[in-house]
Chains A and B, each alone.
Chain A
Amino acid sequence: MGVFKMAWRNVWRSRRRSLVTVAAMTVALFVEIHHTSLIDGYVAGAERNILDLEMGDVQIFAQGYRDDPSLYAMIGDEEEIIAALRTRGFGASARLLGAGLAAAGDTSAGVMLRGIDVDRDARVSAVGRHVLEGRWLDPGDPRGIVVGRKLARTLAVGPGDEVVMLTQGADGSMANDLYIVRGVLKSIGEGVDRAGVYMTEAAFRDLLVMPRGVHQIVVRRPAGMDLEAATAVVRDLAPDLDVESWTQLMPTLSSMFESLRGVMATVYFIIFMAVGIVILNAMLMSVFERIREFGVLKALGTGPGGVMKLILAESMIQTVLAVAAGCLLSIPSIWYLSVKGIDMGKIGGLSIYGIAWDPVLRFAVHASTYLGPVVALVAIVGIAVLYPALKAALIRPVEAMHHH
């Protein structure tokens, strides 16, 4: 009789026992799928937060700008660089930066003005989609500005309110003008929240009398290219400028991610071990209580190899059933969690290394979300069943039949 047929019959023969074992495996798989999804979602979310909102993958500055930010430390040929990057599949957008004073009513605050090309910037940064109140910038409304959350509170302004901006123009004049708040941002990061004012490129150039040049180019790498390779490409295209990847600009943040991944891997491993023990438990039970049966089998001539194969086949069938059940049950749940996520912090925003952290954790869904745990389950089952299978295979028929 074929091993599988026998295994299949064995599985169905002791329905309840099999059911319990399969149930245990299913629970383990369900948990593991969610755990994987959680981790992937966490890391992806973290990167999304930081890279999408503020940093991009790579940034370009004029030499010396980072040490001594000055209106005059400009990148002159930004158009060529941006065009060259785009042909290579990169996303790039330029920004103009300048310090100034914003005043509304009786209060004033020091601010960092950011002049951006609204359409282009949307390709490299998701800031425009993080408006809390009001709307994002519109190139057709150069008088409209969008301010950081805390700044809006300090100045006590909201959409529709007037703000006076005072700064020194590039020609030394006392640059000042009136703007209307179009929108207030959600928490983006410490710097933007406290002092960020976004305006259109045209408005910036007009206010600060800066007809040419930019201060910063934010670059996103093409999908599939890793960060180092991407940074190298950008450096080649801008050899006279200061090109840094986000890991170089924020080394402590980058190493925090590494440590997070390390911790996650450890946790992953621990959970798998816990899962493995559960399955070992189930398998052992299943084998040990049928020792008499195996004894009989061996007495009837089945060799140790055959017994092992039988047990392995049984566990494989159970595993397959568990995989099917586990995946089917996981699909709706993962779908929900990836769309809605879990809100893990109670406040509207928090900052780590000065960058905002979205407290809503969205689960990730990829082929690997399911594949990984399934493969791991199969591996664990395989390992867990080895000891019991060996034990059964090496049973001495006579002893076995006397068991119990």
Chain B
Amino acid sequence: MKRTSVPACALALALLALPGSCPGGDAVPDPESPEFAAYVMNRIDDQYRGERSHGVMEMHVKTVHWERTISLEAWSLGKDFSLVRILSPKKDRGTATLKAESDLFTFLAKTGKTIKITEGMMGGSWMGSHFTNDDLVKHTRLSEDYDIEKVYSGEASGTMIHRFKLVPKPDAPVVWGKIVVSVRQLDLQPLRQLFYDEDGKEVRVLKFSEHSEIEGRIVPRKMVMKPLDGSGEYTQVLWKEIDFDVDIDKGFFSVQKLKSL
């Protein structure tokens, strides 16, 4: 199975917390102005800051050899804290991952043991999906690590979008050659992120859809991550329930909590 490395924000976007463009918020610069691109990326980077959430999602993974659907319960606090627990299938129920700032732990329900994820395991798959452990921990900021340029504003597949080209800055610890991000003109919600290697070849795509409003926030309920190697593999995440403004604090995100759930 192929795995990939995705900027943390994108993953966090879909899995950890659920985003929400804060209604009313800061003044939006004119789409034609040079600051617009940076503004959009900052929004994407900062969407979860301070946000708390609790939800249930369904993750479907299809690989060349197998296909699986698991149901997960997730809590999050901003981008730095999250706890994701498997609800089903029964065999894996109780297994959970905890992210506390830059530490990552996995709790294995069957054995009752907790393992800290070391740098050697970072390349490994998260919960069997096409995401890696590394994706959860990485601290890239789109606006700082990339040079951003708006390349198109208009219609694509029936929706009005803005499209941006992101080229990693020379020193950014990012493996990609470039990323193309498309957002909805309506609310600047990300629609698609296309990742290219240094030869300009498309490697992966991350798509967001089924945007709905929940507790005043816009949330893309469906996210699909797909390697573009013709293998037909993909990982799909579908949010079933989400709740914001939950009463949790940093203390919630601890190894002890992992075990006690």
Direct contact of A and B (CB under 8 A): yes
Q: Could you tell me which A residues sit within 8 Å of B by CB distance? A: 72, 101, 103, 106, 108, 110, 164, 166, 168, 170-174, 176-178
* A108 partner, pick from B1, B95, B115, beta carbons under 8 A: B115
Pairwise interchain contact B111-A178, C-beta atoms closer than 8 A: yes
Q: How far is the CB of A27 from chain B (nearest CB, A)?
A: 60
Pairwise interchain contact B128-A108, C-beta atoms closer than 8 A: no
Pairwise interchain contact B92-A171, C-beta atoms closer than 8 A: no
* Chain B residues closer than 8 Å to A164, beta-carbon distance: 108, 111, 113, 115
Q: Which residue of B lies closest to A103 (CB)?
A: B115
Pairwise interchain contact A101-B68, C-beta atoms closer than 8 A: no
* Chain B residues closer than 8 Å to A178, beta-carbon distance: 110-111, 113
Q: How far is the CB of B96 from chain A (nearest CB, A)?
A: 11
* Chain A residues closer than 8 Å to B64, beta-carbon distance: 72
Within 8 A of A (CB), among B87-108: 89, 91-92, 95, 106, 108
* Chain A residues closer than 8 Å to B111, beta-carbon distance: 164, 176-178
Pairwise interchain contact A174-B92, C-beta atoms closer than 8 A: yes
Q: Which of B22-30, B118-126, B224-232, B241-249 contacts A (4 or more CB under 8 A)?
A: B118-126
Q: Which of A173, A174, A178 has the most CB of B within 10 A?
A: A174
Pairwise interchain contact A177-B125, C-beta atoms closer than 8 A: no
Pairwise interchain contact A103-B127, C-beta atoms closer than 8 A: no
Pairwise interchain contact B63-A172, C-beta atoms closer than 8 A: yes
**How many contacts between A and B, using CB within 8 angstroms?**
55
Q: Which residue of B lies closest to A107 (CB)?
A: B118
- If A101-B121, A166-B106, A168-B128 touch, whether A173 touches B92 (CB-CB below 8 Å) is yes
Q: Which residue of A lies closest to B69 (CB)?
A: A172
Pairwise interchain contact B116-A106, C-beta atoms closer than 8 A: yes
Q: How far is the CB of B114 from chain A (nearest CB, A)?
A: 9
Q: How far is the CB of B141 from chain A (nearest CB, A)?
A: 30
* A170 partner, pick from B61, B66, B108, B110, beta carbons under 8 A: B66
Pairwise interchain contact B65-A170, C-beta atoms closer than 8 A: yes
* Chain A residues closer than 8 Å to B113, beta-carbon distance: 103, 164, 176, 178
Pairwise interchain contact A110-B120, C-beta atoms closer than 8 A: yes
* Chain B residues closer than 8 Å to A110, beta-carbon distance: 120
The contact sample of 23 A-B pairs, CB cut-off 8 A, is A101-B115, A101-B124, A103-B113, A106-B116, A108-B115, A108-B116, A108-B118, A108-B121, A164-B111, A166-B106, A166-B108, A168-B128, A171-B68, A172-B1, A172-B61, A172-B68, A173-B68, A173-B128, A174-B95, A174-B108, A174-B127, A176-B110, A178-B110
Docked Cα-Cα span, A168 to B92, in Å, equals 12
Q: How far is the CB of A54 from chain B (nearest CB, A)?
A: 25
4 A-B pairs besides A172-B61, A174-B92, A178-B111 with CB distance below 8 A are A170-B65, A172-B67, A176-B108, A176-B111
* Chain B residues closer than 8 Å to A173, beta-carbon distance: 68, 89, 91-92, 128
Docked Cα-Cα span, A176 to B95, in Å, equals 10
Q: Which of B91, B108, B110 has the most CB of A within 10 A?
A: B108
Interface of A (DSSP majority class):
strand
Q: Which residue of A lies closest to B111 (CB)?
A: A178
User: What sequence of 0s and 1s flags, for each residue 157-196 of chain B, a beta carbon within 8 Å of any chain A beta carbon?
Assistant: 0000000000000000000000000000000000000000
Docked Cα-Cα span, A176 to B89, in Å, equals 14
Q: How far is the CB of A31 from chain B (nearest CB, A)?
A: 54
Q: Which residue of B lies closest to A165 (CB)?
A: B111
- If A174-B128, A176-B110 touch, whether A166 touches B115 (CB-CB below 8 Å) is yes
* Chain A residues closer than 8 Å to B68, beta-carbon distance: 171-173
Q: Which residue of B lies closest to A102 (CB)?
A: B115
Docked Cα-Cα span, A314 to B232, in Å, equals 90
Docked Cα-Cα span, A32 to B111, in Å, equals 62
Complex A-B, nearest 10 residue pairs according to Cβ-Cβ distance, in ascending order: A178-B111, A176-B108, A172-B68, A172-B66, A164-B113, A103-B115, A172-B128, A171-B66, A72-B65, A164-B111
Q: How far is the CB of B95 from chain A (nearest CB, A)?
A: 6
Q: Which residue of A lies closest to B62 (CB)?
A: A172
Q: Which residue of A lies closest to B125 (CB)?
A: A168
* Chain A residues closer than 8 Å to B110, beta-carbon distance: 176-178
Q: How far is the CB of A109 from chain B (nearest CB, A)?
A: 8
* Chain B residues closer than 8 Å to A171, beta-carbon distance: 66, 68
Docked Cα-Cα span, A304 to B177, in Å, equals 96
Q: How far is the CB of A94 from chain B (nearest CB, A)?
A: 20
Docked Cα-Cα span, A103 to B111, in Å, equals 12
Q: Which residue of B lies closest to A71 (CB)?
A: B65
* Chain B residues closer than 8 Å to A103, beta-carbon distance: 113, 115
Q: How far is the CB of B259 from chain A (nearest CB, A)?
A: 14
Q: Which residue of B lies closest to A178 (CB)?
A: B111
Docked Cα-Cα span, A162 to B32, in Å, equals 62
Q: Which residue of A lies closest to B124 (CB)?
A: A101
Within 8 A of A (CB), among B65-81: 65-68
* Chain A residues closer than 8 Å to B92, beta-carbon distance: 173-174
Docked Cα-Cα span, A164 to B115, in Å, equals 9
Q: Which residue of A lies closest to B109 (CB)?
A: A176
* Chain B residues closer than 8 Å to A101, beta-carbon distance: 115, 121, 124
Q: How far is the CB of B217 from chain A (nearest CB, A)?
A: 31
Q: Which residue of A lies closest to B120 (CB)?
A: A110
Docked Cα-Cα span, A309 to B113, in Å, equals 88
Docked Cα-Cα span, A178 to B113, in Å, equals 9
Q: Which residue of B lies closest to A104 (CB)?
A: B113
Q: How far is the CB of A291 from chain B (nearest CB, A)?
A: 83
Q: Which residue of A lies closest to B89 (CB)?
A: A173
Docked Cα-Cα span, A172 to B3, in Å, equals 13
Docked Cα-Cα span, A97 to B163, in Å, equals 46
* Chain A residues closer than 8 Å to B121, beta-carbon distance: 101, 108
Docked Cα-Cα span, A103 to B127, in Å, equals 17
Docked Cα-Cα span, A171 to B91, in Å, equals 12
